Chains A and B, each alone.
Chain A
Amino acid sequence: MKTVKAIEDIESEIVEEFALFDSWDDKYEYIIDLGKKLLPLDPKFKLDENKVRGCQSSVWLVANEESGRIFYRAESDAVIVKGLISMLVRVLSGQTPEAIINARLDFIKDIGMMTHLAQTRSNGLLSMVKQMKHYALAYQFKNAGQST
């Protein structure tokens, strides 16, 4: 099994990548590119129950647990949101529930996305983070239940 980088380390990588861009045009180009490259989600998962609430676009998010780590897959019908998902999945997928719950996700602020994107609820970035953390909480509860 490949080793998983710590959340903070992946966040630092993203911050460094974004530091290469001078303008928000370039940053958006990059996010859009990530969005276009995101693997599509199997249509069988595109159910209402997997939809993230609070997004103007449709966002489906599923999670599964393997050996104490959570893996996310997600998709959206909007490209920029797909790019954002791609970054969140890169940071959080494969981490332990505890690490996900405690993740501060400062990279969102550090790459300037907090002022550019996250302030309106309609783009759904914060809803996605919340939903990903909910999954982690749910698995943590489940595991705690099993161990007692």
Chain B
Amino acid sequence: MNPDHITFDNVSRFYGEVLGVNRITLSIPPGITSLVGPNGSGKTTLLNLMTGLIHPTEGDVRVLGIEPRDPRKLFRVVGYSTQFDSFPRGSTGRQFIYSFLRLFGYPSSKASVLTAEALDVVHLTDAADRKIAGYSKGMRQRVKLAQAIAHDPQVLVLDEPLNGLDPLVRAETLNLFRKFASQGKHVFVSTHILHEVDMISDQFILMSNGYVVAEGQIQDVRSEIREHPMQVTIRCKQPNALASKVFEMEHVVEVRLHPDGKGVLVLTRAADLFYRRLNHIAMGDFGIESIAPADDTVKSVYEYLIGEESQR
């Protein structure tokens, strides 16, 4: 067991007869990990298991080697921003964070300083002394984020943290996640905003119906999906000639001209072989400007493995 990892060892959780998650085995390294899946797939159950808010029916969960049943150790290293959009009655943003930090045993002065810092990070300083009940959805998301990061945890667990955030704050929040990850910390994000997952994730976990359908780095997962040909976009000056040339390869199943006439989309069943052959082709007079995979995104993988209809 790696003490730097978050591990799930054959973990199952049932709610009576209803399946929450089943036989989950994972070992998650530091970095940004995105948890994606349709509604009811077990994402929140997984996060709650990780943070001890619920306990597994079977199996064992460890967060940096700590058992989630031990809150005294766990929450020194874990900060969790839940999906629950409810707060202690009558609290202001500052009171909420300050009270939470006092539960850690911090003296008043330190709790005040940490509160101010956390609120500053999420740009809520001006609204800190207003009642949370009067906050917008985005502000409530930010105050939850502030609560999660206030004690500078090693593991940041975030359930749909980008919901309700405007584009500017969303970009700043993603930068914050990157900053956390760059310090060797865990950022574990449950989200359904798939294109942003691609932008920030070091690895992802795809869940469906309580099972982990896929996990790892997106390119690795994509290359394992053999029933869907890999898509590669090639921008070039001679798309017609290039289309003809690449279609000579037996593993290429389809070549489409780009609508703007400045490139082709190639669908191949052997991406590695295709890239090797492409190195030779690129030396020809096709004016190739760029080569980029077109569907090794979380969105594509999600659609291939779970189906577009189930996407949130």
A and B physically associate: no
Interface residues of A (CB under 8 A from B): none
Interface residues of B (CB under 8 A from A): none
